[in-house]
Amino acid sequence: MKTLNKTPEKQLNTEEEIENLQNQNKVLIQQIEELTIKLNWYEEQFRLNQQKRFGSSSEKTNPDQLSIFNEAEKESRPEKEEPIIEEITYKRRKKKGLNKKSFEDLPVERIEYTLTEEEKICPICNNHLHQMSKEIRKELKVIPAQVVVVEHVKNIYACRNCEKENITTPIITAKMPNPVLPGSFVSPSLMAYTMHRKYSEAIPLYRQEKEYQNFGINLSRQNLANWIMYGANTWLKHLYNRMHGYLLKEPILHADETTMQVLNEEGKKPTSKSYMWLYTTGMYSNPIFLYEYQPSRAKKHPKKFLKGFNGFLQTDGYPGYNAVEDVTLVGCFAHARRGFTDTLKALPKDATTSKTNAEKGLEFCDRLFKLEREYKKEKLTPEEIYKKRLEKTKPVLQDFLSWLKIKEKQVLPKSSLGKAINYCLNQWDKLIAFMLDGRIEISNNRAERAIKPFVIGRKNFLFSKSPKGAQASAITYSIIETAKANNLNPFYYLTYLFEKLPNIDLDDMEELDQLLPWSELIPENCKIPNKE
C-alpha cells in the first residue's frame, strides 16, 4: 500500500482553515446570543405594549389569578370528606339605590292632585268625602341651563332745589359693580360656566358653541376662547400668584409633568412637544394644585418655579428635578412597584424564574404599601408614623435592598426585570427618604392623580393654539382643581371670583386671601354640602 504524506504547506493551510472556522463559529455564537437577547427584549416590549392597549390598566395583582387554569388541580383534596348537605335559609340584601338623604338640600316643587267638588261625593251614600291621607311620590326633575339677559341700571340723581336756586347742581350716581370684561356682554356666571365646562367637564369650545346655538344664541368659539384667556390672565392670575407664594412655604411638595401640544410656539414646529408641569402640597396642608406651562422639559423650569422652597420634594425620579436647590428629593415606590408589574405583563408563560423574581419584588413593595395603609387606618399622627416606620418598615426595606443587590448580578440589565431592579437601586436613597418624616407619603400618587384632569381634557381639546392660551389653561386648571380639593363647587366659586376680583384692590394681599379656596369667608353656596 502506498501512504500519502501531506506536505508541511498543506498541513499548515488545513490548520489555518480550522482555526478560521473556529473563530467564525465563536463570532456566530456570540451574534446568536446577542440576537437572542434582542429578540427577547423586543418580545417583552411587544407583550407589554399589547397589555397596555388591550389589558387592564389596574396594577393590582391577585396571586390566585395567576393560577386560574390549574385551579382544579391546585385546590383538589381527594382525602377530604364530602360535606353534609344542609338546608340554609337567608335573607337577601336589598340592592342599593339612590341615597335619598342627598335630596334634602334640594328645592321642592309640589304638585297637588285633588278631586273636584262633584267627584267628592260618595258613590254609595252620596255624602261628602273627607281627606283621609296622602300618597307622595318623589321624582328628580332636571331643569336645563337657562340664558337670560341681565340689565344693570345705574340711576343718576340731582337736586331740584339747587336747580331752582341756580346753584351748581350736584350729580350723584348710584354705585354699580365693575364688569368682568368692560365693553362686553359676558357676565361673571357666563365666563365661569365656559371655564367650568371646558376645564372641569372636558367639553371643548366647539361643542359649547353648538349647545348655545340650541338656545338660539350665536356665541362663537372665538368669543368663548377670548373670555377664558381674559378671565385667566387678567383676574385669576392674581389668585394663582398668591397661591404660588403659599406653596413655596410648605414643608412637603409633590411634582409631575406631562406633554402637551402648542401650535404657534416661536422657534418650534407645531408637532413638537411642550409640557404642563404640576406642583401640589402634601397631605397635611391646605390643598394647592398649581399647573405651569413650559415649552420644554428642561431642568431650569422646576428650578425657577420652586426658587425659595427648601423642604421635601417628591417626584417620579425624573433627573430634571435634581437641579432644584436646597431641597431633599423623595422617590416614588409606586413607580418602583410598576417596574415589577410591567415585568409580569411582559414575560412569556414559560418564564418561570423571571416570573418568580418579579413576584418577589412585587411582594416587597406590597408589604410596604400595606404597612402604610395600616398606619392610616389607625389614624396615627406624623410623629407616630415616623416611629412605626422605624419599627416595622425599616426591616422590610433592608431585606428588599439585600434582595435587589443579589438579583442585580443574576438578570440581564436591559430586560424588564433588570430595568425594574436597576431603577430601585439607582433611586434607593430617594426611595427611602420618606423615612425621614412621618408627613411624607410613600409614593407620588398625589401628583399623578392631580395631573389626570389635564390629561383627560387634553384628549378632548388636543392642543393649545398659542403659549398665551396654554398659560391661561394652566391658571384655570390650577384654580378649578384647587377649588375641588377644598370641597368647593368650581362653577359657583369661579362666578364668585369674577364678581369680586374686578371690585377689589388686587395689590391688597389681605383681600386676596379672603378669596382663596380655603378661606372661611367663602360663601356657603360655593361649598359642596357634606352629607355625612
* Chain position carrying cell 402640597: 281
**Phi-psi category of 384—alpha, beta or left, where left has phi over 0 and alpha has psi -120 to 50?**
alpha
Same domain, 368 and 485: no
- The residue among 450, 474, 492 that closes a domain is 450
Same domain, 285 and 223: no
Same domain, 477 and 440: no
Give pLDDT, residue 135.
84
- The residue among 429, 450, 471 that closes a domain is 450
Extended beta strands in 121-249, E state: 156-158, 171-173
For 10-26, how does the pLDDT look when each residue is reduced to its tens digit (9 = 90+)?
565 787 778 778 777 87
Mean pLDDT for the chain overall: 83
Summarize the confidence of residues 337-356 as an average pLDDT: 77
Nearest-angstrom CA–CA distance, 229 and 234: 8
Give pLDDT, residue 1.
46
Range of the domain at 286: 264-450
Same domain, 344 and 490: no
Comparing CA positions, the residue from 321, 324, 323 lying closest to residue 308 is 324
Residue 515 placed within a domain: yes
Letter string b/e over residues 332-350, b meaning 16 or more CB atoms within 10 A of that residue's CB: bbbbbbbbbbbbbbbbeee
Residue 291 placed within a domain: yes
Summarize the confidence of residues 93-108 as an average pLDDT: 63
Residue 181 placed within a domain: no
**Phi-psi category of 143—alpha, beta or left, where left has phi over 0 and alpha has psi -120 to 50?**
beta
Number of other residues whose CB lies within 10 A of the CB of residue 442: 25
Residue 72 placed within a domain: no
For 381-435, how does the pLDDT look when each residue is reduced to its tens digit (9 = 90+)?
999 999 999 999 999 999 999 999 999 988 888 888 889 999 999 999 999 999 9
Same domain, 418 and 308: yes
Quote the cell numbers at residue 118. Answer: 262633584
Comparing CA positions, the residue from 258, 210, 293 lying closest to residue 465 is 293
Same domain, 333 and 408: yes
Same domain, 216 and 335: no
Same domain, 233 and 324: no
Summarize the confidence of residues 494-511 as an average pLDDT: 95
Contact of 255 with 313, CB cutoff 8 Å: yes
Same domain, 323 and 377: yes
Nearest-angstrom CA–CA distance, 328 and 193: 41
Based on the structure, what is the number of domains in the chain? 2
Same domain, 303 and 333: yes
Residue 77 placed within a domain: no
- The residue among 416, 431, 450 that closes a domain is 450
Quote the cell numbers at residue 426. Answer: 439607582
For the chain, percent of residues with pLDDT exceeding 90: 46
Same domain, 419 and 296: yes
Nearest-angstrom CA–CA distance, 335 and 445: 9
Q: In a 3-state reduction of DSSP, which class is residue 138? A: coil
Nearest-angstrom CA–CA distance, 423 and 428: 8
Number of other residues whose CB lies within 10 A of the CB of residue 94: 6
Nearest-angstrom CA–CA distance, 149 and 337: 56
Nearest-angstrom CA–CA distance, 312 and 316: 13
Comparing CA positions, the residue from 340, 313, 249 lying closest to residue 444 is 313
Nearest-angstrom CA–CA distance, 129 and 117: 9
Q: What are phi and psi of 487, to 5 degrees?
A: 65, 40
For 445-477, how does the pLDDT look when each residue is reduced to its tens digit (9 = 90+)?
999 898 888 887 776 665 567 788 889 999 999
Nearest-angstrom CA–CA distance, 215 and 299: 48
Same domain, 334 and 395: yes
Residue 482 placed within a domain: yes
Residue 501 placed within a domain: yes
Quote the cell numbers at residue 219. Answer: 356665541
Please indicate, yes or no, whether the overall pTM of this predicted structure exceeds 0.95: no
Distance from chain centroid for Cα 424: 24
Summarize the confidence of residues 505-530 as an average pLDDT: 93
DSSP state at residue 165: T
Residue 158 placed within a domain: no
For 242-263, how does the pLDDT look when each residue is reduced to its tens digit (9 = 90+)?
999 999 999 999 999 998 888 7
Higher pLDDT, 470 or 487: 487
Nearest-angstrom CA–CA distance, 433 and 430: 5
Task: Tell me how far apart the 2 most distant CA atoms of the chain are, in Å.
Answer: 158
Contact of 208 with 197, CB cutoff 8 Å: yes
